[in-house]
A = this chain, B = another copy of it.
Amino acid sequence: RIDGDRLWDSIHETAVFGGTPDGGVKRLTLSQEDRKVREWFKSQCEQLGCRVSIDEVGNMFALRPGLDDNLAPIAIGSHLDTQPTGGKFDGILGVLAGLEIIRVLHDADYHTRHPLILVNWTNEEGARFAPAMLGSGVHAGVFDRSFADSRIDAEGVTFAQAIEAIGYRGPTPLGQTRFAAMFELHIEQGPVLEREAIEIGVVTGVQAMRWYDLVIVGREAHAGSTPMDMRQDALADAAQIILAAQDVARRHGGLATTGQITIAAPSRNVIPGHVTLSLDLRHERDGELDAMEREIASIIEDRCQSARATLAPIWKSPAVRFDASCLEAIKKGASAAGASTRNIVSGAGHDSVYVSRIAPTAMIFIPCLEGLSHNPAESASKKHCTLGAQTLLNAVLFHDQI
């Protein structure tokens, strides 16, 4: 049985590493705050008799031996990094529910057939270093180490510099640890479960997502003496494109978001001549996302009559369907926990997306307040956290019997 209070306390214990005055958590990947939560995590796992190894991109693996060490371990994992405007649950719940499970098994002196491995993946958020799910992507062989090392944050610091700076470049070779399966518990980050008062979402897959950088080059000119019809205003073009991309997304039933925008040499009385912005496009179907991308590319060509725009794709994660046997284990696990369920597709990306390429994988969602995430007010109830962790434990134990 999951100890809901203990799990809840651990969540709040880690929330001090990067805790913000508004109750949120700002723990950018490979920051000093991330180092602190990693050290806390390592010591907790070691106290439970686990061996913690760290790979070359900082992914942390805590191994609890099984009865049969010829079997590949079953993984439980998520991430401890957050957004700049992060909350206490996104990623963290999945790691700490795994910790709670190891505590329960440890207290009960219960030994699974498979070894268990609890993972903290590096840079899931993609907030400091694009793209998201970088550590799990490297583990799965989607990216290589030199690609990860070359990622650059807004201050010009590389991933390689940041990981050396906090001492988390580990000796474990990449992708060495094979998994029999992986299970990840996460808050939904969307409104569906709460709206329908369902306790557990059985996550059948993850929608497709693509990231782009858009650079618009117009012409700097005087705000007071340049007639409106003689301007090459890169920001006005950017504004049109941002809104048009959102219209395209609405028409296709997808999503479009711009979360970053920068004028190269901003000044109140200068018409912007160089603007950079991000574009995040998502859809449940890859084909629809192709169509959205095509429409937006042609809108950019049409609208930027005066300025020159370059749309550079920087990341592409196709739609994913999770493993049937893992989903079966989750359904049985939720039912044994007495939880109501429904199938759901994840709008957010998760480490399970990449792990699913190399091992049977599935995810469990619990509802979160108003579907809110990437926000300091992100919240989930103790009851749902407990139910989610119990479902996770049950699913792992069912899968262990296969």
Interface string of A205-237 (1 = CB under 8 A from B): 001010100000001111111111010010110
B269 touching A127, Cβ below 8 Å: yes
Instruction: Name the B residues within 8 Å of A225 (CB-CB).
Output: 188-190, 346-348, 371, 373
Given contacts A236-B242, A239-B239, A263-B259, contact A221 B268 (CB under 8 A): no
Report the bound CA distance from A348 to B221 in whole Å. Answer: 11
Per the bound structure, the CA–CA distance linking A272 and B257 in Å amounts to: 9
B125 touches A269 (CB 8 A): yes
Report yes or no: A126 in contact with B374, Cβ–Cβ below 8 A: no
Binding site secondary structure of chain A: loop
A224 and B259 contacting across the interface, CB-CB below 8 Å: no
Q: A132-B269, A259-B263, A259-B270 are in contact. Are A224 and B85 (CB under 8 A)?
A: no
Nearest CB in chain B: distance from A310 CB, A: 17
Instruction: Using CB atoms, name the residue of chain B closest to A212.
Output: B268
A349 interface hit (Cβ, 8 Å): yes
Q: List chain B residues, Cβ under 8 A from A126.
A: 268-269
Evaluate whether A221 and B347 lie within 8 angstroms (CB atoms) in the complex, with A85-B273, A268-B130 already known: no
A243 at the interface (CB under 8 A from B): yes
The residue on B at minimum CB distance from A349 is B224
Separation in Å of the A64 CB from the closest CB of chain B?
A: 32
Known: A189-B222, A207-B224, A220-B85. A278 touches B268 (CB 8 A): yes
A70 shortest CB reach to chain B, Å: 39
Partner of A222, one of B220, B233, B268, B374: B374
Chain A interface residue count, CB cutoff 8 Å, equals 68
Bound form: Cα–Cα A132–B83 in Å = 37
A219 vs B280: C-alpha distance when bound (angstroms) = 17
Per the bound structure, the CA–CA distance linking A326 and B263 in Å amounts to 41
A84 contacts B by Cβ under 8 Å: yes
Q: 8 Å CB contacts to B: which residues of A242-287?
A: 242-243, 246, 249-250, 255-261, 263, 265-273, 278, 280, 282
Quick check: is A372 within 8 A (CB to CB) of the other chain?
A: yes
Known: A85-B273, A235-B258. A267 touches B374 (CB 8 A): yes
Known: A125-B267, A228-B246. 4 other contacts (CB 8 A): A222-B374, A223-B280, A235-B261, A257-B269
Q: Which residues of A contact B (CB under 8 A)?
A: 83-85, 125-127, 130, 132, 154, 188-191, 207, 209, 211, 219-228, 230, 233, 235-236, 238-240, 242-243, 246, 249-250, 255-261, 263, 265-273, 278, 280, 282, 346-349, 371-376
